[in-house]
Structure 1
Amino acid sequence: MHTEKNSFSLENKVIIVTGGTGVLGSSFVQAIAEAGGAVVILDLHQDKAEQKAAELKAAGHEALGLAANVLDEADLEKAKAIILERYGKIDGLVNAAGGNVPESIIQPDQDIFDMNIEGMKKALVLNVWGTVTPSKVFGAAMKENGGSIVNISSVSSKTVLTMVMGYSMGKAAIDIYTKWFAVEAARRYGDKIRVNAIAPGFFLTHQNKDLLTNPDGSLKQRSKNIMHSTPYGRFGQPEELNGAVIYLLSDASKFVTAAEIAVDGGFTKFSGV
């Protein structure tokens, strides 16, 4: 009996997730494993990466935990060598590493001309080069067999969010990088390499927790303003990003490149009125 292959399956695909032990990264890792992919979890800390891989393996999934700094090209090359030695190929990359940097935040009562330039640079480096560098290193392994790169943008690159200028600039750079790299990869390698992005709305993560909640867990006024501007009236749950990520990694999106999928509960489309 002939059974048609599920185009959303990640079976026989080797997928790397940077920042793979974070709130969103962990969710991506779990979803990729459940979709049948062999998942490589990259984190700054070996023990965290290995612990996450062990959890997945205990559930019957194929996983590998590796330590690597997404800003260190040599570090990433070492990780790539280990991955290729074990699996022989790389089919996908999710650039989940990134986030806000406390030193780059401009407080409401602060003079904007008193911004921390070094903090701003740190936010830009983390979010831009923390995506470009892994894409360069791991993407090079996709030239022959093909593959999919998924970047993480943000609603902060589409409209002004107070306080987070450095982060917003970094994500705005990700937007044009995604489109630029997708087009240039296509011009050189045809339809082999796809480069797309998802743009999450508001999700509670380690990096934004202090911006959105009080020490007792109650919501700050900033969170209430976000709820008011989000038609769904709530934060997103990490697993609500997984459908978009799996789609972009799978063969279901074979003719999709330079695209961005908003997963924001309608935030970027609502005027607030």
Structure 2
Amino acid sequence: MENFSLKDKVIIVTGGTGILGDAFIKGIAAAGGTVGILGRNQAIAQERADAVNASGGKAIALVADVMKEADLEVARDKVLDAYGRIDGLVNGAGGNMPGGIIQPDQDIFTMNMDGMRQVMDLNLWGTLIPTQIFGQVMAKGGKGSIVNISSMAAQQAITKVLGYSMAKAAIDNYTKWFAMELANRYGDTMRMNAIAPGFFLTEQNRALLTQPDGSYTERGNLVVKNTPFKRMGKAEELIGALVWLLSDASAFVTGTVVAVDGGFSIFSGV
């Protein structure tokens, strides 16, 4: 269907050098979108842009730290110089960090506050700051869709990952608040939604969920047990929801958090 197409849309993907970011890039390009691949690793960003361009799509590598406004402004200008517009933003940068994890044998009253703050900063401010820089361009251009990345950790209490959980709960609140303000100020032309992935293996959670030989840890087995589909997700299984939210097919959808989780969020465990 034509309204699911991203043809002629220029979409920035932060965290574009990560595992989920790779799936986002491929999905956007396959739907006809032009992709700005934003990350700190120049080699990976360029390699992925080259792969999209070689397959007949359009992509540009953008080297930036999502916590640094000056970096993002340079990336914004590079996109505008190349394509003259920005139509979408996927706030894919984020993830867990060791300092935001509390192990069962640790005292919860002596937790690492700096570690908690660090993981919260990356996931929360690493979403807000790019939205300020790229969202302003979309608003001036007259139309745009922003997609944030939430988590199951925002919906239920999940052991160990306190910093990440707090940050993603804040993302859910921010998504709803900002969507409301966009609508009040710009009508139906500016939208913000979020995707809440279930459990997908990434570089940040791999050590928590899998052993060095690839088998599941005790925690990994608990995740699968509490996922009705009885498996973890594949990165490409996020693409359908992402393309829908970026495309005109979701024109009346804003402030929504879409779970892509194999049923994890609705299962009581009984």
Is TM more than 0.5 here? yes
Which residue of 217, 221, 225 maps to 1:224?
A: 221
Which residue of 144, 149, 153 maps to 1:152?
A: 149
1:105 aligns with 2:101: yes
What SS does structure 2 have at the residue aligned with 1:15? strand
1:31 aligns with 2:27: yes
Q: Extract structure 1 runs of 4+ deviating beyond 4 A.
A: none
Q: How does 1:108-257 map to 2 (within 5 A)?
A: 108-143=104-139, 144-257=141-254
Aligned to 1:64: 60
Moved more, 214-223 or 232-241: 214-223
What SS does structure 2 have at the residue aligned with 1:7? helix
Aligned to 1:49: 45
Return the alpha-carbon distance in structure 2 between the equivalents of residues 220 and 47 of structure 1.
Answer: 32
Deviations 1:158-194 (A, max 9, x none): 0011000000000000000000000001111111110
Quote the offset at 1:260 in angstroms. Answer: 1.1
What code does the residue aligned with 2:67 have? L
Quote the RMSD (CA, aligned, Å): 0.8
1:92 aligns with 2:88: yes
- TM-score by structure 2 length? 0.98
Return the alpha-carbon distance in structure 2 between the equivalents of residues 64 and 111 of structure 1.
Answer: 46
Q: How many residues align?
A: 269
What code does the residue aligned with 2:64 have? A
Gaps of 5+ in 2: none
Contact 2:17 2:41 in 1 (8 A): no
Return the alpha-carbon distance in structure 1 between the equivalents of residues 234 and 41 of structure 2.
Answer: 25
Moved more, 154-163 or 216-225: 216-225
Gaps of 5+ in 1: none
Quote the offset at 1:70 in angstroms. Answer: 0.3
Quote the offset at 1:145 in angstroms. Answer: 2.2
Aligned to 1:270: 267
Return the alpha-carbon distance in structure 2 between the equivalents of residues 98 and 65 of structure 1.
Answer: 19
- TM-score by structure 1 length? 0.97
Contact 2:148 2:193 in 1 (8 A): yes
What code does the residue aligned with 2:70 have? A
What code does the residue aligned with 2:65 have? N
- What percentage of aligned pairs have identical amino acids? 58
Quote the offset at 1:228 in angstroms. Answer: 1.1
What SS does structure 2 have at the residue aligned with 1:118? helix
